[in-house]
Amino acid sequence: MSRQIATQETRPVSAAARSLRRSFAGSVLSPGDEGYDAARRPLHPIFDPRPVMVAEAADAADVRSAIVTAREHGLPVAVQATGHGTIVPSDGGVLIKTSGMAGVLVDPERRIARTGPGARWRDVIAAAAPFGLAPLSGSAPSVGVAGYTLGGGVGWLSRKYGFAADSLLRAEVVTADGRVVTASADRHPDLFWALRGGGGNFGLVTSLEFRLYPVARVYAGTAYFPIDRAADALAHYRDWAADAPDALSTAVLLRRMPATPDVPEPLRGARVFAIRALYAGAEGGDAGIADAAERAMRPLRDVAGPPLLDGFRVMSYPETGTIGGTPPLHLDLFDRLPDAVLDTLPAAVDGPADSPVSTVEIRHWGGAMAHPERPDAGPVGHRDVPFSVIVDAREPSMAAALRPHATGGSFLNFLSDPARTASAYTARHYRRLTEIKRIYDPGNIFHRGHNIPPNPPARHGQTAHRDQAIPRPAARTG
């Protein structure tokens, strides 16, 4: 459905675009310009945003110019790299695109990567793999590094090494008042703390530096089993997971498989129970890794019975992008998994082929996520929660059945409802985030997403305070 650009008059918007172009190396696109429609759209078609301009930044100076211009003209700011994390349409503001700032540098001696905000995990994985190193990436290599890391970042290596946010060492940030600052453990430590899980609320990150880990070969894949033993397998998983080694990350799934030619014959159109896992131990080469992983998973496999299809094998870390993941359209966190929850799950995938729910996933968290190395670890997640239940559709009856047993918390990367942003944090962490927001973005110009308003709250669109005059960026020449 078409929408008109809200609250902005043609003349001020045109003036803002003209002003920005004088100090901008990248493209500035306004409605009606060639390329505007392609540039304004996020990854998912659920949104049809109408920003007053799209600023395709070439470097940090461009980012600063766009933020300064937006503040001077009272325009809100939205940021988009890959478009995966869009949850609020960027209507009536300046959409800053950072997808062109996608550089990746790897220092194998220090086991560190430095990336631009437009980099994707597949770029980092490819750059690190020749050195036997891996980042704490997610299940989808196409996802952007910046949004994933700032939102916490949970992936197949997280039980062994922690959240992606825990691996962050420093970030270059353009703040709401136009400053370019470096946030690290010893420079702007409050901002550094907030960036490790607080999302894009505190400025626009123009580069990140984070740890890499010695992971070259893993044992990973998915095994599919008949659904008839799912109830026993789910109950066993609940207890077995408590003693699983940190090197083993697992999820169990209930799936209604598509009846399409690309699905292997034993699974086509079937309802199945599945075990999906990755083992990142380092025992004695490929054979040793496989043997250690299978010993750890054997009790769970025995309960599930003979597999219909077994996809586990030793693979390089770059190949783990083929394992797959469950789209988290609904997520609940659980301190425990009572029988009332486990009894509910199999029925969710028991409907006809056009039923909204096709996959339910229980994921085991914990490990290094629950016990970070640093005492000043960021606000990411509810670290002490051991399980999540992910459903691949928004099904009200399913949500109602799970809600009484869940913690009420959420995880920022998996949260699509901006009204529930506070639920991604503990109360203490959320209060601290609002205080840091007041320091770095008192006018709340970075509110187009999972907004954490400043404490005390400030009006959207508020421009610089009197003591926060911002020098204009110099005009670009040549």
Number of H helices, E strands in the chain: 12, 17
| pLDDT score recorded for residue 243 | 95
CA 30, 31, 37, 40 torsion-angle sign: positive
pLDDT over 80 at 464, yes or no:
no
Q: At what angle do helices 230-240 and 285-304 cross, to 10 degrees?
A: 130
Where do the domains of the chain lie, and which CATH numbers do they carry? 10-100 (3.30.43.10), 104-214+424-434 (3.30.465.10), 217-417 (3.40.462.20)
| pLDDT score recorded for residue 449 | 86
Q: What is the pTM of this model?
A: 0.90
Please name which of 358, 368, 379 lies closest in space to residue 426, comparing C-alpha atoms. Answer: 379
| pLDDT score recorded for residue 281 | 93
Please name which of 468, 269, 276 lies closest in space to residue 390, comparing C-alpha atoms. Answer: 276
Least confident of 5-9, 66-70, 124-128: 5-9
DSSP H helices in 138-212:
145-150, 158-161, 189-195
Read off the pLDDT of residues 332-359 as tens digits, 9 standing for 90 and up.
999 999 999 999 999 999 888 788 899 9
Mean pLDDT of the chain: 90
Read off the pLDDT of residues 390-416 as tens digits, 9 standing for 90 and up.
999 888 888 899 999 999 999 999 998
Grade residue 209 by pLDDT with cuts at 50, 70 and 90.
very high
Read off the pLDDT of residues 293-311 as tens digits, 9 standing for 90 and up.
999 999 999 999 999 999 9
